[in-house]
C-alpha cells in the first residue's frame, strides 16, 4: 500500500470514529499480478457471475488502533526480500523468522472476523499485513539517507553521533600531548597517521585500503588512542580481539567505518596474512550470520591495529597496505611503559567529553582540507623503520634458505652421498629444475646440519612453493606426464624460453650410476614414485627410513615408510 493511501485511510477511519461510527479497516489481499483493486478481488475469488459475500466476511478487520500498531512495528522491523530475512532496525542486524517471533513474543494485536474479535500475535499480523515495511535488499552506503530509498533498498547507515563543530583549542591539548609522547618528535610518521584518519573522516563513502599498525610497549597508550578515534566514527566502529578478525561469522566487524584490533594473532601466519589483506582491499563485504543467508554490502572499513610484539603482521617487501609505526621507541617492547598519571587522566576525560570529541572532528576535517592536494591516502604508505623491521621478522628459515639457494645454487643445490654412515656434500646438481618436494627434502637436510633443534616436520610443499616464489624463482606448471609444477633453481631465464617437453626431458633424465650408494638406499629408490625419479645424483634420498643408518633390515611396507618420512 502506498504511503499516501495509508495516511488517507487512517485519517478517514479516525474521523468516522470521532463521529460515533464503529470503524474497521479491511485490507484486500493481492492477486497474482500484484493488484488489490475491488473488481480484481471479486473476479479472482468467485468469477464475474457471483458476489463473494462470504469472501469479504472472512477477511480480517482491523481497528484504526491496530493499523497504528502495525505502522509502529515498521519503525522497528523491515522485511528484506534478498536475502529472505528481517531487519531489526535498532541493532541493524538481519534476523530469521524464529528470532523475530522471539523478539515480539509478548506483543498482540486485536483483529475481528466472522468468528469474533481476538488477540493475535503481533508478529503474525505484521507479516501477513500488506502494510508491513518491505525492502528488496539491505545496503550500507555512508552519507546516504537512512531507511528506504527510491530504488527499494534499505540503507542501514545511521548518521554519525558526533556533530563536528569548532570549539576552544584548549580542549584538544591532551590529544596533542599524547601524540607528542607517543611519537617522540617523529613528525613525519605522526603527520601520516593524522592525515590518514582525517581523510577517512572527511570521506566516509570512499574505501581507504590501508591499515594502521601501532607497535609499542604495554601501557604506552595505543589502545587509548584507538578508542578516541573510534568515538568519532560511532556508531559505525567497534573494537575486537585479533583472533576474531578471521571468524567465519563476521557480522560483528561488518558495516563499520573503523575497526580497532587488539593484538592481531596469526597462528597460521600465511593464511591469516592473506585473509587480512583481502579484508583491507575488498570493496564489498560478504556477511555471514547464523540462520540467515549470506549477503553483500559495501565495505568502507579502515583497520587500526595495536600490538606489543615486533611482528604483529606478516608482510613482504613492497607491501602497500600497512602503515606501521613504533611508538614510544625509547622504551623496550618487553617492558611496561612509564605512566604519566595526569596525562592519562586528562586524555580519558577529553575522550568522554562530547564537546572535545566534536572539536577533534572539526580539527580533522580542517586538516583533510589543508592536505587534500599533498596527501594521497591511496598511494604507498610511508616506509618507516618499524615496517622494515616487521618485514625482516616476517622472513623464516625456509624463506632465508630459498633465497640462499637461488643466489648460490652451487653451494646449496648439491649432491648428497651416504658415505660411512653419514651424508656428505658432493658435486653441484646437474638438474636445474626441481619440485617443491625436492627442495623440501634439501631444506630438511640443511636444517639437520645447521639447526638440528629446529622442528620442520610441519613444513609443507605448499609453503616451500610460496617461499620459492617470494625469493624470485620461476615456476612452470603442468610439466610432463605427472603434470608437475617445476621451479628453476638455476638458469631461470633460459628455462623460461623452453617448451614443457624439453623441461620434462631434463627433469626425468635417467640418473647415472652412483658410487658409494649402499643397498638400503637402492631399495628405497626402488619404491620412489615416478614423479620424483630424475637425475639428481642421490639428492637427499632416504636411506630406508632409519633402517640404513641403524643398519637394520627394511620392513616389507617400505613404500609406507617412505611416505611417512616425507
Range in 74-88, 259-273, 521-535 with the lowest mean pLDDT: 521-535
Q: How far is CA 449 from CA 93, 365, 417, in A?
A: 57, 59, 14
Of 304, 306, 327, 325, the C-alpha closest to 181 is 327
pLDDT at 381: 92
Place of cell 548518521: 159
pLDDT at 269: 57
Count other C-beta atoms under 10 Å from residue 209's C-beta: 17
Instruction: Give me 227's grid cell.
Output: 578508542
Q: Is the pLDDT of residue 249 over 50?
A: yes
pLDDT in tens, 456-514: 777 888 888 888 887 888 899 888 888 899 999 988 889 999 999 999 888 887 454 43
Q: Which residues, listed in sequence order, are joined to residue 304 by a DSSP beta bridge? A: 212, 260
- Where would I find the H helices in 25-89? 38-46, 53-58, 64-73
Q: Is the pLDDT of residue 202 over 60?
A: yes
Please tell me the pTM assigned to this model. 0.64
pLDDT in tens, 381-397: 999 999 888 877 776 77
Give the residue-averaged pLDDT of 397-409: 83
- Where would I find the H helices in 205-327? 222-232, 269-281
Report yes or no: 197 and 361 within 8 Å, Cβ to Cβ. no
418 vs 15, more confident: 15
pLDDT at 526: 42
Report yes or no: 503 and 529 within 8 Å, Cβ to Cβ. no
Q: Which residues, listed in sequence order, are joined to residue 119 by a DSSP beta bridge? A: 110
* 3-state SS, residue 41: helix
For every residue of 376-432, DSSP letters joined together read -TTSPPPP-HHHHHHHHHH--HHHHHHHHHHH-HHHHSEEEEEETTEEEEEEEPS--
Q: H or E element: which one contains 205?
A: none
Highest mean pLDDT among 35-49, 284-298, 473-487: 473-487
Angle in degrees, 0-180, between the axes of helices 397-407 and 461-471, rounded to the nearest 10:
50
Amino acid at each position: 500500500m502506498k504511503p499516501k493511501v495509508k495516511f488517507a485511510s487512517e485519517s478517514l477511519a479516525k474521523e468516522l470514529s470521532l463521529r460515533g461510527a464503529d470503524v474497521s479497516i479491511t485490507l484486500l489481499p493481492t492477486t497474482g499480478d500484484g493488484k488489490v483493486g475491488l473488481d480484481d478481488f471479486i473476479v479472482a475469488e468467485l468469477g464475474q457471475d457471483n458476489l463473494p459475500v462470504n469472501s469479504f466476511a472472512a477477511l480480517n478487520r482491523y481497528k484504526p488502533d491496530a493499523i497504528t500498531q502495525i505502522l509502529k512495528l515498521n519503525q522497528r522491523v523491515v522485511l528484506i526480500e534478498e536475502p529472505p530475512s528481517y531487519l531489526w532496525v535498532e541493532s541493524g542486524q538481519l534476523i530469521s523468522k524464529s528470532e523475530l517471533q522471539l523478539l515480539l513474543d509478548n506483543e498482540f494485536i486485536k483483529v475481528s472476523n466472522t468468528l469474533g474479535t481476538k488477540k493475535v500475535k503481533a508478529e503474525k499480523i505484521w507479516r501477513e499485513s500488506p502494510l508491513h515495511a518491505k525492502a528488496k535488499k539491505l545496503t550500507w552506503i555512508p552519507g546516504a539517507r537512512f531507511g528506504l530509498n527510491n530504488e527499494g533498498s534499505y540503507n542501514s547507515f545511521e548518521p554519525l553521533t558526533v556533530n563536528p563543530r569548532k570549539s576552544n583549542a584548549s580542549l584538544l591539548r591532551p590529544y596533542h600531548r599524547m601524540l607528542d609522547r607517543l611519537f617522540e618528535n617523529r613528525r613525519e610518521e605522526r603527520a601520516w597517521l593524522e592525515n590518514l584518519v582525517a581523510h577517512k573522516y572527511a570521506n566516509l563513502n570512499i574505501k581507504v585500503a590501508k591499515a594502521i599498525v601501532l607497535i609499542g610497549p604495554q601501557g604506552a597508550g595505543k589502545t587509548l588512542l584507538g578508542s578516541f578515534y573510534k568515538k568519532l566514527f560511532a556508531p559505525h566502529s567497534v573494537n575486537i580481539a585479533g583472533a576474531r578478525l578471521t571468524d567465519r561469522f563476521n557480522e560483528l566487524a561488518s558495516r563499520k567505518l573503523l575497526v580497532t584490533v587488539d593484538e592481531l594473532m596469526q597462528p597460521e601466519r600465511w593464511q591469516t596474512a592473506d585473509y587480512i589483506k583481502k579484508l583491507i582491499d575488498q570493496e564489498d563485504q560478504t556477511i555471514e550470520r547464523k540462520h540467515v543467508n549470506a549477503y553483500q554490502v559495501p565495505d568502507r572499513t579502515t583497520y587500526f591495529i595495536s600490538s606489543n610484539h615486533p611482528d604483529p603482521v606478516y608482510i613482504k617487501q613492497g607491501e602497500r597496505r600497512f602503515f606501521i609505526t613504533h611508538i614510544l621507541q625509547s622504551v623496550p617492547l618487553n617492558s611496561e611503559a612509564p605512566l604519566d598519571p595526569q596525562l592519562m587522566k586528562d586524555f580519558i576525560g577529553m575522550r568522554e567529553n562530547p564537546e572535545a570529541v566534536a572539536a577533534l572532528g572539526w580539527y580533522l576535517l580542517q586538516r583533510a582540507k589543508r592536505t587534500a592536494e599533498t596527501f594521497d591516502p591511496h598511494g604507498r604508505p610511508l616506509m618507516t623503520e618499524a615496517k622494515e623491521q616487521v618485514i625482516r621478522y616476517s622472513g623464516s628459515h625456509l624463506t632465508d634458505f630459498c633465497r640462499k639457494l637461488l643466489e648460490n645454487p652451487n653451494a646449496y643445490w648439491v649432491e648428497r652421498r651416504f658415505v660411512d654412515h653419514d651424508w656428505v656434500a658432493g658435486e653441484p646438481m646437474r638438474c636445474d629444475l626441481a619440485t617443491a618436494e625436492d627442495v623440501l627434502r634439501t631444506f630438511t637436510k640443511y636444517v639437520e646440519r645447521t639447526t638440528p633443534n629446529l622442528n620442520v616436520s610441519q613444513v609443507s610443499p605448499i609453503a616451500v612453493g610460496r617461499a620459492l616464489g617470494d625469493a624470485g624463482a620461476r615456476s612452470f606448471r603442468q610439466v610432463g606426464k605427472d603434470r608437475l609444477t617445476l621451479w628453476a633453481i638455476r638458469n631461470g631465464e633460459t628455462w623460461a624460453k623452453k617448451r614443457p617437453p624439453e623441461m620434462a626431458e631434463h627433469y626425468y633424465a635417467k640418473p647415472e650410476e652412483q658410487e658409494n650408494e649402499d643397498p638400503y638406499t637402492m631399495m628405497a629408490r626402488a619404491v620412489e614414485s615416478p614423479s620424483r625419479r630424475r637425475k639428481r645424483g642421490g639428492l637427499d634420498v632416504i636411506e630406508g627410513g632409519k633402517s640404513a643408518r641403524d643398519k637394520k633390515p627394511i620392513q616389507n611396507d617400505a613404500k609406507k615408510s617412505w611416505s611417512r618420512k616425507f
